[in-house]
Amino acid sequence: MSAAAADRCPRCGGAFHCGIGDAGPCACTGVALGAALQQQLRAQFSGCLCLPCLQALAGGAALRPADRESPGPAAHTDAAAPRSA
C-alpha cells in the first residue's frame, strides 16, 4: 500500500490519506462541522475520518453508516455511484 493511502477511516473502513501532517492544509479543513458533532466524533472514533465520511456527516448523515457490515473502499464508490431504477 502506498503512503498516500496508509490510513483507514474508522467510520467506513476505507483507505485514505490524512493530510494533517502535509505541507499544505488537509482537505478536511474545508469541511464545516459544528461543535456538537465534533464532540460526538471524538467520543465515537479515534483518529481521522476520510473526506467522504466527513462530508456526509456535515450533510446530516448518521455517525455510523447503515452498510457497516461490509466496510471498505467500496463504501465510498457505492455511495457516489448513481443508482439506476
Grid look-up 465510498 returns: 76
**Grid cell locating 63:** 455517525
Residue 12's nearest CA partner among 81, 77, 82 is: 77
pTM greater than 0.75: no
What digits encode the pLDDT tens for the residues 16-31? 999 988 998 888 999 9
Helix (H) or strand (E) holding 23: none
The three grid cell numbers given for residue 40, joined into one nine-digit string? 460526538
**What pLDDT digit, counting tens, does each position of 7-61 carry?**
899 999 999 999 988 998 888 999 999 999 999 999 999 889 999 999 999 999 9
How many whole angstroms from its chain centre is CA 14?
8
Structural domain boundaries of the chain? 3-65
What is the Cα–Cα distance from 67 to 5, expressed in whole angstroms? 22
